[in-house]
A = this chain, B = another copy of it.
């Protein structure tokens, strides 16, 4: 059951292959690249494209395959509890967990076990150190895991605002994100047609979907933050759980007393959800209702196995404000909420900043891991300088790679247009590739068992002048081809150095001469 995969954005001489499970009747999709040198083994790569990267042609009006539906139905029929965390605590390895293990291992085994074992997946989920976002109403999502023992993941953000974009364009960006390697996707729409936009995205996305429910709640009160109520928020949560949202950003840790801690900041509160809740608290003189109703929230989420991503409403928005009292006060409260969520078997992610200079990044991971009981950290960048609008995919890829290496489990991408405008499709591409680079650099530094194979295959292809293999192994084959294609070149050198100055060509000659010399001796 292999199929050709050649959409424009991943033209890589690869086939989609499916590795069968041993514990469960599952087939785990991944890609396999065939090299020009047939004596070398095919190279497997992690794939987030689902049906879109197979050669089936899904109908965007109907949505993609409901992969997990039979697993979920079976559990319901057997009267099992439905959250992955509860099952993991009971010692049960779900189909989702085996899927994740095979996927992370690229199907490779060592001593009869997958490189990443299903038992490791189960135990990390049970301990809350890893999260498998898997709303029972989003059976289209292929299981994936977020935790620092696993591959570093990336999240992409899309969504319209009151001033731009439409449904079709957002769905197109969502599919494009999956094809390019986005592991999860947040729909941050705040404009018209929020419900419909989200529905189309969920039905067409093979990756978990996240939202920030306060945005839609605010639309329901015509943008007047003061008029938000727990009841409106609660209804929004249920509406979105029913649709299949896999994780919610909830700014429940921003307490009333913390708002004044931001008064010495250069850039105040830069989280949209955080600023909305702060405004609500000041106007109403009450404690954050997301905090006071957190148990109620967990009860709702547990029914659907929607994970909570505890938002950092007080994340710093500038180098100046990094690692301040406001930021860390909120983080401590997120730790408190983590414990409550786990009691309800709700899986927890902790969101992190933002803007941080390199020398202050490590402290963020250390404090988060300690205060939040090793829950997976999920950071936005961080940007390591404020002075490069137009290039914030780069200012933040530096911080993202570093924080990934230090132990952050998922990196929320930043596009070149951050601080300037909504991203278009090309911005999404540039943001994703920058973050695939950061995540992979982190995986190499952490020594993930399946990370370096692709680098080594690339390097071997370089040394052998197998240009097509280099393109096919690249994160963005299309761009690599495009840049190379414009230049003239020979078979064993390229336009950069020309024939006389090609070090690799000379290296081959040296090896040949050394061989000759040793034979003559």
* A residues adjacent to B (C-beta < 8 A): 161-164, 190-191, 215, 218, 223, 225, 259-260, 262-263, 266-272, 274-276, 278-279, 282-283, 317-321, 357-359, 384-391, 393-395, 397-398, 401-402, 405, 416-417, 419-422, 433-434, 436-438, 440-442, 444-447, 452, 454-456, 458-460, 462-463, 470-471, 473-476, 479-480, 482-484, 486-489, 494-504, 506-511, 513-514, 517
Across the interface, A476 reaches (CB within 8 A) one of B390, B502, B510, B511, namely: B390
A391 and B162 form a contact (CB under 8 A): no
Contact B162 A266 (CB under 8 A): no
Interface centre among A259, A283, A498 (most CB of B within 10 A): A498
- Among candidates B384, B441, B458, B462, residue contacting A444 with C-beta atoms closer than 8 Å: B384
Q: Is the CB of B388 within 8 A of A433?
A: yes
Q: How far is the CA of A501 from the CA of B269 in the complex (A)?
A: 12
A394 touches B395 (CB 8 A): no
CB pairs A–B below 8 angstroms (6 shown): A163-B487, A259-B510, A269-B507, A282-B514, A387-B454, A387-B474
Q: Knowing A270-B503, A320-B459, A495-B164 are in contact, say whether A401-B384 is a contact too (CB < 8 A).
A: yes
Copies held by the complex: 2
A471, closest chain B residue (CB): B389
* Bound CA span A238–B28, Å: 65
Q: Which residues of B lie under 8 Å from residue A416 when comparing CB positions?
A: 483
- A161 CA to B272 CA in the complex, in Å? 51
Q: Is A358 a contact partner of B445 (Cβ separation < 8 A)?
A: yes
Known: A161-B497, A402-B358, A500-B162. A266 touches B390 (CB 8 A): no
Neighbour of A190 across the interface among B218, B488, B500, B513, CB < 8 A: B500
Query: Which residues of chain B are near A319, meaning CB under 8 Å?
Result: 444, 452, 455-456, 459
Neighbouring B residues of A388 by C-beta, 8 Å: 433, 436-437, 474-476
Find out whether the CB atom of B385 lies under 8 angstroms from the CB atom of A440.
yes
Which residue from B268, B503, B514 sits with its C-beta under 8 Å from A274?
B503
A497 to B266: give the CA distance in the assembly, Å.
20
Given A422-B495, A459-B317, A507-B268, A473 contacting B387 (CB threshold 8 A) = yes
Beyond the given A282-B514, A318-B462, A421-B486, could you list 18 further A-B residue pairs with CB under 8 A, ordered by the A residue number? Answer: A161-B498, A162-B498, A218-B501, A268-B507, A268-B510, A269-B507, A272-B503, A282-B510, A317-B504, A318-B458, A358-B405, A358-B442, A384-B444, A389-B480, A391-B433, A391-B476, A421-B487, A422-B495
Q: Are B320 and A483 in contact (CB under 8 A)?
A: no
